[in-house]
Structure 1
Amino acid sequence: MTDTLAPRDAPAARVAAVDWAELTAELDEFGSALTARPLLSPRECRDLAALYGDTARFRSTVDMARHRFGSGQYRYFAEPLPDPVRELRAAFYPYLLPVARDWAAKLGRPAPWPDTLEKWLAICHRAGQPRSAQILLRYGPGDWNALHRDLFGDAVFPLQVVIGLDAPGTDYTGGEFLMTEQRPRAQSRGSATLLPQGHGLVFTTRDRPVRSARGWSAAPMRHGVSTVRAGRRHTLGLVFHDAA
């Protein structure tokens, strides 16, 4: 993959160029959807991945094996966020907001998310969730991430985004992004997605609405990462609620 994205091509323009009707339909059907075009160039991906060694950029580091989350390591960005992280999160929010509100209506839930990300984050902070939840993850050979949900308090946005920063098959093998869906009165359904470098996968934070004979019901979902066989895998996680 070459550096085809011009520096002046701002993240907001790249997110706006996504086919949101197609992506939303896939989200509704499966609970996750991959952008057809990259959001970051290879150079931008490398620059973000290189931030991992700059500990001053982060508020905390989590060793997954120590906490029995899997194997590998991730770091939460401190404020102020790097420009690409801040800009991408702000660009995604208005496109994900209609999906969040639609899902809430189908499930008969409140939809507390205001029209702007700034107002929503202010609500998170008043709820006791003032810390950045933006994540840079690093996996090496044998590392993996257990199935989980990124819930950090009562204030939750129902969608999030992960962006691949390395090239599968070139920089690493294995390391597929995993999702499982718990279906009513049936065994769970799983999916595995390779993240092309620079592309974003939008996925549900905790559940999605599914149609049933009685109307709409919530299908709980969890996500994780399969074992990395070789190489090194970095990803950027964009979460639209802050942490306690």
Structure 2
Amino acid sequence: MPPRSSGLASPVADSSAAARVAAYDWPALAGELDGYGCAVLPKLLSPEECRAIAALYPDESHFRSHIHMARHGFGRGEYRYFKYPLPDLLGGLRTALYPHLARVANAWNERMGIDGHFPGDHASFLARCHDAGQTRPTPLLLQYEPGDFNCLHQDLYGDLAFPIQAAILLSQPGADFTGGEFVLTEQRPRMQSRVEVVPLRQGDAVAFAVHNRPVQGSKGSYRVNLRHGVSRVRSGRRHTAGIIFHDAK
């Protein structure tokens, strides 16, 4: 796994990130993920940490690529993929969140009849990605301005994809921006799609299904397909950090 180095004024070590992540009620969060495909982790970051991460956006030295959504039909807005080494704060949270989400992911695979077990630590999973040729880091920083939006999509970057990811709202709704709600849609077999609008405050994280999740039916579990996006920003500027656990080709 590539090393991490400090990219923020007050970096959070892995042990500190693990402590704050472990303080959440993970059985309850797992229940939310099972029931709705998403779960909110309130106040994962402080306002100061949010501003510090958002302030990295103009500095190209932290990033490997810069994407303008309109050029690719993804919506409107832009984002930058971080390069290795990741900022300590995001790298520590990526490491700390993974084991809790891996337990949910393994239970989902079992229920959906999908072969494959995710290892208990993130370094081991990244080693699998890199062995498969997926070596480019996927954590990203997104920026939206008035009129910008993100089309419904799935963040799949190769044959190996971890089924849950996280997004952290860095801006303050109602003060820094208006609009820009996080949206999750679920396509259910032989039924109309279900929409989940997730209200977030500054520093809140949402963990959500990347692609499929199991739903209990009368004859056992079946798969539903999920996509996520962001509604139109009405005013101001909205920053979000995305934590994707698999790397890309």
- Taking the aligned partners of 1:114 and 1:161, their CA distance within structure 2 comes to 18
Q: Are 1:11 and 1:39, in contact at CA under 8 Å, matched by a contact in 2?
A: no
Listed as ranges, the gaps of 5+ residues in structure 2 are 1-11
Q: Are 1:168 and 1:194, in contact at CA under 8 Å, matched by a contact in 2?
A: no
Q: TM-score, normalised by structure 1?
A: 0.95
Question: Which residue of 35, 59, 64 maps to 1:29?
Answer: 35
> Hey, which bits of structure 1, 4+ residues long, moved more than 4 A?
none
Q: Deviations over 1:137-167 (max 9, x none)?
A: 0000000000000000000100000001011
Listed as ranges, the gaps of 5+ residues in structure 1 are 1-6
- How many Å apart are 1:91 and its aligned residue? 0.5
- How many Å apart are 1:112 and its aligned residue? 3.4
Q: Deviations over 1:61-107 (max 9, x none)?
A: 00000101000000000000000010000000111111000000000
- How many Å apart are 1:237 and its aligned residue? 0.3
Q: Deviations over 1:45-69 (max 9, x none)?
A: 0000000011010000000001010
Q: How does 1:134-173 map to 2 (within 5 A)?
A: 134-173=139-178
Q: Which secondary structure state, in structure 2, belongs to the residue aligned with residue 40 of structure 1?
A: coil
Q: Deviations over 1:27-49 (max 9, x none)?
A: 100000111x3111101100000
- Taking the aligned partners of 2:31 and 2:70, their CA distance within structure 1 comes to 36
Q: How does 1:194-209 map to 2 (within 5 A)?
A: 194-209=199-214
- How many Å apart are 1:16 and its aligned residue? 0.7
Aligned to 2:93: 88
| Percent identical | 52
- How many Å apart are 1:13 and its aligned residue? 1.4
- Taking the aligned partners of 1:72 and 1:127, their CA distance within structure 2 comes to 31
Question: Which residue of 194, 198, 219 maps to 1:193?
Answer: 198
Matched, 1:16 2:17: no
- Taking the aligned partners of 1:222 and 1:128, their CA distance within structure 2 comes to 25
Aligned to 2:7: none
Q: Deviations over 1:148-206 (max 9, x none)?
A: 00000000100000001011111100000011000111110001112211111000010
Q: Which secondary structure state, in structure 2, belongs to the residue aligned with residue 52 of structure 1?
A: coil
- How many Å apart are 1:242 and its aligned residue? 0.2
Give 2:43's aligned amino acid.
P
Give 1:87's aligned amino acid.
G
Aligned to 2:80: 75
Q: Are 1:94 and 1:115, in contact at CA under 8 Å, matched by a contact in 2?
A: yes
- Taking the aligned partners of 2:225 and 2:175, their CA distance within structure 1 comes to 33
Aligned to 2:55: 50
- Taking the aligned partners of 1:97 and 1:109, their CA distance within structure 2 comes to 14
- Taking the aligned partners of 1:111 and 1:173, their CA distance within structure 2 comes to 42
Question: Which residue of 118, 130, 137 maps to 2:135?
Answer: 130
